[in-house]
Chain A
């Protein structure tokens, strides 16, 4: 079985995003960029499935600027076998990303497509579900545990009330939640090796997908700032404050 792992290059999760003064977006100039953390979990899970003998090949895909090559090299250094970059300088929306991924899946015929449940830049939480819809395949979103058995995959999902387990007929789409695994760090020898692994570069036109945006962002602003209150000296003062709120 082949596993396709779409990964996105995003602002590093440790960086506090700054909104541009003109309201046009978030300032990404000279900001550290990394692989979307949820996608890193997807790469790790794919590698573990390969190590467990459940998968033969892992193909990482990214849709983004030329620099998304770095993100793909990270996936290769972690253990993916080869990579495809669909190069574009446009901000491609989840629906168009799903269409491109569908076209790639038609060529690659993966048994599983694993990706993060959301990207930490636009927080859309859509691509996996949209891809599953377009491919008319099942989806296991917000995965906490993934077990492959023959031609089906059992996914334990993190839902609002606790956990839910579903069984999906493969090919299937799985989106990862935080607790699925802890991604490994790529070792130096593996980073060196990754430079020699195959990386194909394509464009969205190669897949016949129109990436024109459907949504227009008219403004990006800072959220309202909450003012710090006061610190109290001891528990008695805290008790008095809490009682004043009328809750005890």
Chain B
């Protein structure tokens, strides 16, 4: 089977989410990569180094700069004549584009795959991860999105794919990019961080969240996350949210601080290698999944912990 993987990138470089997607695609068949962007040769050259890939298709056009789904989907559909499967990371970019591609191909997409069980058979989470479905497709072509934490990352170096320029219709005229507000941070990105310190509603407000969570994260070189309750209460921006409807993470160590452990949140972090929970309620559900727990007042524990580490 021939697969086409959508590369997640910012025109200059490839984002990590691409690597796990390549691993998933390689379990189905041969892998080619698509870089749709503007002045994106840098990203294409980086993509060409990913181990285990055939070639990189580079669609370089101002219309693809922000990867608007209205423009990228027809491009992909045009390329799919030569492929059996379109595979995208289950990031906000992939989730935006893939279903548009699927509908244009008249294919029922399989979202968020966690494993490849056969040629056309995959597992995926349903009901916020409370159940795992095994799903088989009867469509001629496959359209898949891949849960990044469920697959190992392909090696970012070692490949030497050729870069081939392709083109599509360009601007659909339907939508326009206006602006973006991206969080500027020295911190590791949540989906690739080795350590994550997450805070919940118990942090009280934005100021105390910053005052108590940030020093610990700084000390550990960790990414900062939050529960939905903390995001909804405005302590931190939406891109901090870990959970079924936010980001799915699986770091080596996950600190859940003042997070009770709603199903929604657990679905986003329960694949972490080690979970450490600090909560004043000893019956909080988070302790049922935590490897190490400490019951107590986080406003006393955190400063002491940060100091002693």
Contact = CB atoms under 8 A, between A and B. Distances in A.
Given A216-B138, A218-B135, A242-B309, A232 B293 contact: yes
Interface stretch (B35-43, B49-57, B91-99, B205-213): B91-99
A235 B238 contact: no
B62 interface: no
Interface stretch (A1-9, A70-78, A133-141, A185-193): A133-141
A221 B131 contact: yes
B135 A215 contact: yes
Interface string B157-180: 000000000000000111111111
B292 A137 contact: no
Interface residues of A, number: 79
A118 B179 contact: no
A154 interface: yes
A241 B99 contact: no
B179 A218 contact: no
Contacts of B194: 247
B268 to A, nearest CB: 12
Nearest to B288: A228
A16 B263 contact: yes
Given A133-B103, A161-B183, A245 B238 contact: no
A98 interface: yes
B13 to A, nearest CB: 13
Max chain A Cβ within 10 angstroms of own Cβ: one of B68, B100, B253, B290: B100
25 contacts: A98-B103, A123-B112, A124-B111, A126-B102, A129-B98, A140-B175, A142-B95, A144-B238, A154-B178, A164-B179, A164-B180, A166-B175, A166-B177, A167-B178, A168-B174, A169-B173, A214-B107, A228-B290, A229-B291, A230-B293, A236-B308, A241-B276, A243-B309, A248-B220, A248-B309
Closest A-B pairs by Cβ, 5 of them:
A229-B291, A129-B99, A214-B108, A130-B103, A133-B103
